[in-house]
Amino acid sequence: IFAYLNYLEPKSRREILELLIKGLQRLEYRGYDSSGVAFDQNESNIEIIRCKGKVQALADTIWNRDDIDLDHQYQIHVGIAHTRWATHGAPSDLNSHPQRSDDNNEFVVVHNGILTNYKDIKKFLEKKNYTFESETDTEVIVKLIKHLHETHPKMKFRELVEQVSQQLEGAFAIVLKSKHFPGECVATRRGSPLLVGIKTKTNLVSDHIPIIYSNKVINPKLLTQISLNGEEKDIINTSISRQSSLNMSVDDVHKDSVEDTHRSNLMKTNSLVGAKLARSNSTTEFVPYDEGKVVEYLFASDASAIIEHTNRVIFLEDYDVASIEDGRLTIHRIKRNLDGGDSLTREIMTLKMEIQQIMKGNYSSFMQKEIFEQPESVINTMRGRINFDNETIVLGGIKEFIPEIKRCRRLLLIGCGTSYHSIIATRQILEELTELPVMIELASDFLDRNTPIFRDDVCFFVSQSGETADTLMALRYCKQRSALIVGITNTVGSSICRESHCGVHINAGPEIGVASTKAYTSQVISLVMFALVMSEDRISMRPRRSEIIQGLKKLPEQIKQVLNLDQQVLEMSKELYQQKSLLLMGRGWNYSTVLEGALKIKELTYMHSEGILAGELKHGPLALIDDRMPVLTVVTRDSVYPKCMNALQQVMARGAHPILIAEEDDLETQKYSKRVLLIPHTVDCLQGILSVIPMQLLSYHIAVLKKCDVDCPRNLAKSVTVE
């Protein structure tokens, strides 16, 4: 999602369309199959242009249109745009967003997420003689708004969206515009990320926006209730109260919150600060400037689309309804949190992101750039946290909760994909240094099993984006059961970041390539640092802690050494890129490495690859081995070295010619293959960080040789925000 509203800032239609297209291009990395824009064609009509394929195809379609006056100037204008990743309906022009309410484009919407009850709403609307032109779940939103508008024409735009959003089930982030409400824009979210950027030529008068608590549906039967089969029931034609805002003081709202535990007190500090700020501000609307001054607003599902315009943003939360009317922004809520932890304001945050971070620079792709950024990204992960001189570590985001974590019953680490592999990579060191039971879980399977969770559990949720749908749902599942929630994310303001009791920001910097690289290594380091914090008072573990901390100190330079293997990996890729399958084998600390390497090869090259635990070789995978099957084996000098060598010899006995990743000073292992990638030696729990980088390079080079789109692999999205 990307939307732009200019208020008293003169813009030509060309400038507006260029800005919308650029916003979509910034979001391309998230994965998509079609795109579209909606803008004002004249004073009373909205034009929609949609196109299957790349954003550039959409841009070409727009610039080739002869009926669009690109020089027309607007003092006030709302434009919305979208890149779609097909869920309901195949990729096509008709299924692309924006979706419209009717042939006259009275209401148009862009939507991220999945509506689980769209079939029921669709049946209801079809009985009202509405026809549908697309296969999407999104179209029901604008048609339901149109139905409500025709029934109650005096309702405000924001009120229409509030009432309709209560009829929607599932996950969504939506932004709407309407010909009936020119110059207005309304957005809301539930379970899908959405943020608002604010750009002014003068300083903002406040860093917080008060929340307005609107009435729920004044009569619960305000809208005709929709049953499971789409039939009407309990139809009551009631008039609608125009009063949609409760005139509650901040103090009245504050009385509803209950702070009964130490954890609640820590969590609500920011809310109380916000309350004090709100008391000093009598307005319920955000006017960031003197009346009549210029302001621009941007809505986006990702900060990367906004940062080149402004770094002042508001992260909307579930059930927030953001409305812009006459240049004024208001944020309304209908639903209160059950735990009483509602914030009374939304903070206007300053993004610490620079436009250069989301540009390729001199690299051919974002993934290549991010692989080679790892010496710097791991330094950023450790910066300000590790004092190498006195070997101490401070993780500010969880510092206050360490005593509670040390008293816990067990640690649960939950994630998906690459984040799950970072959990596997650190399970052993967490068990060793914390001496606590450590459970690791794939978020989707964890939810499927309704896993028992207890209030003395500590649950870690690892996600690069902080918006991964399964991980976020698992977080809420654990939070409902009173477990302590710790978020490990790379995105400030993300849902996991906001909904956790505490957490660690991995500080890897923006990651644009769909295949995660630098976030993986930073996630591993973050979890290792947590293990070190947990063992700081264990005298018996001081030698081990010292060894690991000194290993972390040397790590950036060692990563640079591994990156020097790039040309050697390229030559190896030329031998492998025409293969149909590739097996990767490792054990112990390197099991997660081969899983992650296999995932990268699958994601980028569309080649079958499988990460095999060397100890399981005789239990099935050995049947795949012959003289034509390429096998990449990671063998490092750690506690399982003899067992890895045993597996290597078994593979060679079946005629395979393995590729080895081994340590520089391991002359014995190097004798077993002519194709060896030599990496520096480091402490065992960090060795996987060095051994995974050649696999990242291998997957990248094979993908390039196969002419695959490295940054946007087919069928994949960067942030998996739907189930």
Tens digit of each residue's pLDDT (9 = 90 or more) over 275-323: 333 333 333 455 554 556 799 999 999 888 998 999 999 999 889 999 9
- Same structural domain for residues 488 and 544? yes
Strands 195-200 and 208-213: unpaired
Q: Are residues 422 and 551 in the same domain?
A: yes
Q: How many domains in the chain?
A: 3
Nearest one of 486, 720, 689, 719 to 590, comparing CA atoms: 689
pLDDT in the model for residue 338 = 54
Query: In terms of domains, do 413 and 440 share one?
Result: yes
CATH number at residue 336: 3.60.20.10
Q: For the ranges 209-218, 423-432, 467-476, 629-638, which has the lowest average pLDDT? A: 209-218
Render the burial of 567-599: b for 16+ CB within 10 Å, e for the rest.
Answer: eebbebbeebbeeeebbbbbbbbbbbbbbbbbb
Note the pLDDT tens digit of each residue in 35-90: 999 999 877 799 999 999 889 999 999 999 988 999 999 999 999 999 988 777 78
Residue 210 clears pLDDT 50, i.e. is over it:
yes
Pairwise CA distance, residues 174 & 182, whole Å: 18
Torsion sign, CA atoms 468, 470, 474, 476: positive
pLDDT digits (tens, 9 = 90+) for 380-410: 999 999 999 999 999 999 999 999 999 999 9
- For the chain, give the longest Cα–Cα distance: 85
**Same domain membership, residue 269 and residue 147:** yes
Tally of CB atoms within 10 A around 480: 11
Band of residue 341 on the pLDDT scale cut at 50, 70, 90: low
At 263 the pLDDT is 58
Q: Give yes or no for residue 652 having a pLDDT over 70.
A: yes
> Comparing C-alpha atoms, which of 5, 391, 361 is closest to residue 200?
5
3-state secondary structure 169-231: CEEEEEEEEECCCCCCEEEEEEECCCEEEEEECCCCCCCEEEEEEECCCCCCCCCCEECCCCC
Task: Grade residue 721 by pLDDT with cuts at 50, 70 and 90.
Answer: low
Per residue in 693-703, pLDDT (tens digit) is 999 999 999 99
pLDDT, averaged across the chain:
86
Q: What is the pLDDT of residue 718?
A: 74
Q: Would the pTM of this model clear 0.95, i.e. be above it?
A: no
Predicted confidence at residue 292, as pLDDT, reads 61
The residue-averaged pLDDT of 252-273 equals: 40
- Where is the domain boundary, 356, 386, 404? 356
Question: Do 443 and 415 meet the contact criterion of CB atoms below 8 Å apart?
Answer: yes
Residue 485 has a CB neighbour count (10 Å cut-off) of 23
Per-residue pLDDT reduced to its tens digit, 480-515: 999 999 999 998 888 899 899 999 999 999 888 889
Residue 477 DSSP label: H
Tokens matching residue 100: 């419209």
In the predicted structure, residue 678 carries a pLDDT above the cut 90: yes
For residue 73, what pLDDT is reported? Answer: 93
Identify the domain containing residue 515 by its residue range.
Answer: 360-563
Spatial distance between the Cα atoms of 351 and 357, rounded to a whole number of angstroms: 12
End residue of a domain, out of 330, 356, 382:
356
pLDDT for the residue 207: 80
One domain for residues 162 and 17: yes
CATH code, domain with 614: 3.40.50.10490
Residues 368 and 466 in one domain: yes
pLDDT for res 340: 54
Q: What is the pLDDT of residue 578?
A: 92
Annotate 56-73 with three-state secondary structure.
Answer: HHHHHHHHCCCCCCCCCE
Is the distance from CB of 459 to CB of 468 less than 8 angstroms?
Answer: no
Radius of gyration of the chain (CA): 27
Least confident window among 143-152, 220-229, 683-692: 220-229
Q: Assess whether pLDDT exceeds 80 at residue 448.
A: yes
CA 134 vs. chain centroid, Å, equals: 27
Per residue in 241-260, pLDDT (tens digit) is 333 332 333 333 333 333 33
Stretch 563-574: mean pLDDT: 95
Residues 143, 291, single domain; the answer is yes
Question: Do both 107 and 215 map to the same domain?
Answer: yes
**CA pair distance 462, 465, nearest whole angstrom:** 9
Higher-pLDDT residue of 2 and 209 is 2
**Closest by CA position to 98, among listed 111, 85, 86:** 111
171 shares a domain with 67: yes
- The residue from 306, 334, 356 where one domain ends is 356
Which tokens go with 480? 């409902």
In this prediction, residues 679-699 reach a mean pLDDT of 96
Q: What is the pLDDT of residue 723?
A: 63
Q: Worst-scoring range by mean pLDDT, 234-238, 522-526, 649-653?
A: 234-238
Residues 22 and 110 in one domain: yes
Q: Are residues 132 and 271 in the same domain?
A: yes
State whether 575 and 546 are in the same domain.
Answer: no
- Percent of residues, the chain, with pLDDT higher than 90: 65
Give the model's confidence band at 707: pLDDT under 50 very low, under 70 low, under 90 confident, else very high. very high
Helix (H) or strand (E) holding 690: helix 684-705
635 pLDDT above the threshold of 80: yes
- Which residues, listed in sequence order, are joined to residue 396 by a DSSP beta bridge? none
